[in-house]
């Protein structure tokens, strides 16, 4: 792979890299960056955010903002505050944004973005319809040329908004696709793939092909029990196939961005996280099947505290995948 210079620009990004605390600029080649990802991307874990906040306060005497804006390469970065991770691409003739979080956090992101680039936002791409990924779309009204999502994601967004009586607070996709969508901005080719149902029935995997970075949306919860939205067509069995297909389709050097991660875990990683999460989902199904066969009641089963062999997944929310697996396996 041709070495690609990577620049860490923002103060918080700068502070996030141990080697850069005292430097204004720091560059390293992409391969080294990927090898060092545990260090640099660890900036995005909660523990390091706290350290960072302390540093920020010390240097500026002001409370740090509640969000993280982090450049992964000289063109692609991530934003985290509340809800699903936002990714963005800064090109010479336009910006691409993946997901929008909530109406109250999206303005923080847009403010930071506009400090970095004056180019127009060409595309806002939604990985899926959930409110922590598309709720902030409305803040992009008048700023973005096109909103793109999978056709089922648009239907879900509309359906949920009508049921919640807030359709007027949405910015729905004006472009949809069924299997595959591609767009070109500057030097980058952006491809949205639909590999079938998983977390919902409308999850896109969004590939920045030249940079070889894929936003997985909520198809990847890193070491965190996932939400499985059966009311929007989710399937755990098929979710495993989607993850395996992603590992085959992309390559060993692909960097992945995740919708969510447990405290202390990264929102960015490599194919091994996808394999581990597929193993976790497989273990959820196998365990659930065994308990159903053993004659457990659903109520008793939902008291489970850990999934056998999957001790890395701990914390809240275990009933979400277990309940969904039970319902999926017992559905007529
Ligand atoms: Zn989410
Ligand atoms: Zn979701």
CB 290 within 8 A of CB 327: no
Residue 199 has pLDDT above 60, yes or no: yes
Q: For 63-104, write each residue's pLDDT tens digit.
A: 778 899 999 999 999 999 999 999 999 999 999 999 999 999
Q: What is the mean pLDDT of the chain?
A: 86
Residue 12 has pLDDT above 80, yes or no: no
Residue of 93, 107, 189, 105 lying closest to 145 (CA atoms): 93
Q: For 123-132, write each residue's pLDDT tens digit.
A: 999 999 999 9
- Reported confidence tier of residue 60, pLDDT bands at 50, 70, 90: low
Q: For residue 49, what pLDDT is reported? A: 52
Residue 150 has pLDDT above 70, yes or no: yes
Mean pLDDT is lowest, of 29-43, 107-121, 166-180, for 29-43
Share of the chain above pLDDT 70, in %: 81
Q: For residue 325, what pLDDT is reported? A: 98
Q: For residue 45, what pLDDT is reported? A: 56
Counting ligands in written order, the one closest to the CA of 229 is 2
DSSP annotation string for 272-297: HHHHHHHHHHHHHHHHHHHHHHTT--
Q: Strand pairing partners for 121?
A: 95, 144
| CA 204–ligand 1 middle distance (angstroms) | 13
Q: For 227-271, write each residue's pLDDT tens digit.
A: 999 999 999 999 999 999 999 999 999 999 999 999 999 999 999
Neighbours of ion ligand 1 (CB under 5 A): 84, 132, 218, 259
Collapsing DSSP states into helix, strand and coil, what is residue 148?
A: strand
Q: For residue 19, what pLDDT is reported? A: 29
Non-local (6+) Cβ contacts of 139 within 8 A are 100, 103, 106, 107, 110
Residue of 191, 307, 193, 252 lying closest to 1 (CA atoms): 252
| CA 133–ligand 1 middle distance (angstroms) | 6
Mean pLDDT is lowest, of 12-26, 205-219, 267-281, for 12-26
User: Structure pTM?
Assistant: 0.84
| CA 315–ligand 2 middle distance (angstroms) | 18
| CA 286–ligand 2 middle distance (angstroms) | 23
- Reported confidence tier of residue 61, pLDDT bands at 50, 70, 90: low
Cα–Cα distances in angstroms (integers) from residue 36 to residues 100, 196, 200, 247, 269, in the given order: 28, 33, 33, 21, 11
Distance in angstroms (rounded) separating the CA atoms of residues 264 and 42: 8
- Reported confidence tier of residue 47, pLDDT bands at 50, 70, 90: low
| CA 215–ligand 1 middle distance (angstroms) | 12
């Amino acid at each position: 792979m041709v070495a690609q210079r990577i620049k860490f620009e923002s103060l918080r990004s700068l502070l996030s890299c141990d080697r850069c605390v005292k430097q204004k600029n720091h560059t390293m080649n992409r391969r080294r960056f990927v090898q060092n990802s545990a260090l640099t991307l660890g900036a995005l874990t909660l523990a390091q955010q706290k350290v960072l906040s302390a540093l920020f306060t010390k240097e500026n005497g002001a409370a740090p903002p509640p969000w993280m804006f982090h450049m992964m390469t000289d063109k692609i970065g991530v934003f985290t505050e509340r809800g699903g991770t936002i990714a963005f691409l800064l090109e010479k003739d336009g910006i691409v944004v993946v997901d929008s979080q909530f109406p109250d956090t999206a303005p923080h992101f847009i403010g930071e973005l506009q400090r970095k680039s004056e180019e127009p936002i060409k595309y806002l791409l939604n990985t899926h319809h959930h409110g922590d990924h598309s709720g902030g779309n409305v803040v992009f009204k008048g700023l973005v040329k096109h909103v793109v999502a999978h056709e089922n994601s648009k239907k879900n967004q509309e359906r949920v908004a009508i049921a919640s009586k807030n359709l007027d607070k949405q910015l729905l996709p004006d472009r949809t696709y069924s299997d595959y969508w591609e767009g070109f901005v500057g030097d980058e080719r952006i491809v949205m793939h639909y590999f079938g149902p998983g977390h919902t029935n409308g999850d896109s995997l969004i590939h920045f092909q030249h940079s070889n970075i894929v936003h997985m949306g909520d198809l990847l919860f890193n070491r965190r029990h996932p939400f499985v939205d059966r009311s929007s067509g989710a399937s755990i069995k098929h979710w495993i196939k989607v993850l395996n297909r992603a590992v085959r389709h992309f390559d060993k050097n692909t960097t992945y961005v995740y919708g969510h991660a447990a405290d202390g875990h990264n929102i960015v990683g490599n194919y091994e996280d996808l394999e581990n999460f597929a193993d976790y989902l497989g273990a959820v199904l196998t365990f659930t099947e065994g308990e159903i066969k053993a004659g457990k009641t659903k109520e008793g089963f939902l008291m489970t505290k850990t999934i056998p062999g999957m001790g890395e997944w701990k914390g809240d929310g275990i009933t979400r995948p277990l309940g969904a697996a039970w319902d999926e396996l017992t559905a007529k």
